[in-house]
Amino acid sequence: MAPRQDSIKTLSNIARILQKSQPSENPLAHITGMVREQLSVDVCSLYLLQDKTLILVATDGLDPGSIGHVRMEVKEGLTGLAVEKLQPIIVQEASAHPRFKYFPSTGEEKFRSFAAVPLLDRETVVGVLTIQTTAAREFSVQEIELLRLIAFQLAPLVQNLVTLEILQREEKREGRHLQLQGIAVAPGFGIGPAFFLKTGVSPVIPPLAGQKTGQPAEEWKKMGAALKKTTADLLRLEKRLRKKFSKNESDIFYSHRMILSDKTFLKKLKAELKPGVGAAEGVAKVIGGYIRELEKIEDPHFRERAADLEDLRQRMLDHLYGEAPKREKEKWEGILVADTLVPSDTARLDPKKISGIVTARGGVTSHAAILARSLGIPAVMGVSGALSRIQPGNLLIVDGDEGKVYVDPERDVLLEYEKIQERNADRLLELQRYAAEPALTLDGRRIHLEANVGLISDLKRLPYFGAEGVGLYRTEFPFMMRKKLPDEEEQFQLYRKIIQEADGLPITFRILDAGGDKPIEVLSTGQEPNPFLGYRSIRLFMARPEILEVQFRALLRASAFGPVRLLVPMISGMEELFAVKKILEAAKQNLKKRGLDFDPQIPFGIMIEVPSAVALVHHLIREVDFLSLGTNDLIQYTLAVDRNNEKVAAFFEPLHPAVLHSIARVAQVGSEAGKSVGVCGEMAGDPAMTPLLVGLGITQLSMIAPNIPLVKKAIRGIEYGRAKAVAEKALLSATAQEAKDLLAPLREKIALDQAG
């Protein structure tokens, strides 16, 4: 029987992944996840065959820490049996089979049914693809056939991996080092031996095979005990982190405790407990649902909160299964290598012992990255091959400026990085000097530099980086973790706390930007063919004005405690703007009647993100106090390029003439009206873009805080007059390349200044 249509889609997706892959990449993790989802199994793993030894190289479902460490000879295990027989091996009760081989590090004793298919490149076995389930299951003919087809596609790639492994061994024999690339998240350079975070965040533990499940009341009792123990864990970690750093850094554990006591969260947990469904399954499903929602979001500030919830989920499961965390006993010294770092791991970071951090997952806005920057520990995250191509004890160089990781580097590379470390110390001192100075061009043009913020914990470091305020505070996170919308009082308390933590710095609160890449369960309207062009943001609030009025009332009340600005996203025309201002006025009148204080002159602005707003900006400017260009969305909508679609990523071009004309028009209209125009997209934090934006007339830039000294240095090294002349020439360009060529001299000067 032929595979189903969705199976064919899976095969074509895998083919595209393999076609796009570079030799230095490892797309296998993505493929195992795709197979696991397609076949609705609990585990999909892939083993590489080298010198009669099977090595686990990718898995979705087993402990990721076991990748590269689980090895068995062909004569061992059910996986080896597939190599010996050269045919699929299908077993309903794997642990009962005489060839079953148990690896404690994987946690696979929980899985029952097993299937393995050998990967054949012509007549040579190069690996094995396996699937596992927690419940006894008879795999269908179609499922096994799909596995065989996938194995057929994977075989050439796995053969290439074998060749690559051989080449790497040759490189080591010849003294050539291995270099991995990731995301630079914490600056500086670290040198030391690799050690692995062995436990980390494990995949969700499904019910043990044969484990008895009590009645719902009994399971709820177990749940209550686990909640109590987990809350105690979090309180202990919160106190430790507060003592070690400050209240800001410990807030993540406070927020976790608040989740555990949230009535909606508890109600959802209890609703999962039905006959035959245990407490662990309830925890896995409810918190897993939150995680999946966060992972859908394009904005990294929210997407990376999924790792925080993984930590919370794992602690709950540890207590439900009676498995005490083992991480406290591990010795942390050298370069820490892990799949990811979660909040409870970051509480143990010691800059005196840890000289660098390398993770396979994570990014600039992850909690671990924030803590690494606070501690001054160089870190590179999102490193493909971190778990499979680094071994414990390898000497590593972590380049937190360029996002590079060197494995067993040559002596001359080591000596060079030791020199770079010395220069870097001087550079950091210089950047710190820039942080304290105003952002003035050589000919006196003043630019205001502010920070994009998504968490309260981000606020403490703003003065250190020289931020003059918060140009964009995202208000979505509290809404995303609840089934019930937070009321006015809850929002007011949160916004007041944010203002107090900012300690007098002005904060621009972007009102709730729901929909698109920021799905909020309570406001969900179901699946949309194109959510970015659908029922999102202001369009949603035109139908639900009461939600917007509640947020306006909370923000207005908070404005009595410090300087606040209101920023409304996704305005496309005057009708929407008038409607929003009407809701704001209603909120003000409500507070007046209640005798509550607020700033009656609170600055009100809108984001320019869609072409229609650019076309109507000369009308819109009359109704607002300031404008903020959201260049990420503006580029997406102007060029009709989905920024989440890898196929069209090359068309997402900030220097496209249409984009430059849009920025120039908005800046000009703002200047003529005597009102501030800022940029808060990725362009704002790129020093190479600074001369262009300044030359186009932008007067305020908002970015992630660590980029502020870099951009400030760029501003202080250019003349506004020259930048303006070059920008005007760039506006005459017919192509993005022409604009790049015109800007090249200024951008090269910036690059040289940054390096010096």
| Catalytic residue of the set 367, 618, 619, 656 | 367
- Cβ contact 584:567 at 8 Å: no
For residues 754 and 691, the answer to whether their CB atoms sit within 8 Å is no
- Please give the order of strands across the beta sheet that includes 124-133: 71-73, 53-60, 43-50, 124-133, 113-121, 89-91
Question: Residue 679 half-sphere exposure, CB side, CA atoms within 13 Å?
Answer: 30
Residue reference for tokens 């005057």? 574
Instruction: Please check whether residue 569 is in contact with residue 508, taking contact to mean a CB–CB distance below 8 angstroms.
Output: no
Helices (H), 630-656: 631-639
- CA-based end-to-end distance of the chain: 65
| Gap between the Cα atoms of 45 and 61, Å rounded | 8
Provide the 8-state DSSP code for 560. G
Give DSSP secondary structure letters for 232-287.
Answer: HHHHHHHHHHHHHS-HHHHHHHHHHHHHHH-HHHHHHHHHH--TT--HHHHHHHHH
Q: Which two tokens stand for residue 223?
A: 């749940």
Fill in the DSSP letter of residue 685: G
Burial class for 447, CB neighbours closer than 10 Å (0-12, 13-18, 19+)? buried
DSSP secondary-structure letter at 476? -
3 state DSSP class of 456: helix
How many Å separate Cα 122 from the centre of its chain? 40
Task: Provide the token pair at 407.
Answer: 């494995």
**Pair 374, 15: CB distance under 8 Å:** no
Active-site residue, 680 included: yes
Question: Which stretches within 21-140 are classed as H helix?
Answer: 28-39, 77-85
Q: How far apart are CA 311 and CA 89, in angstroms?
A: 35
Write phi, then psi, for 164 (nearest 5 degrees): -60, -40
Task: Fill in the amino acid letter for 247.
Answer: K
Residue in 319, 448, 656, 680 annotated catalytic: 680
Q: How many CB atoms lie within 10 A of CB 363?
A: 18
Known catalytic residues are 367, 680
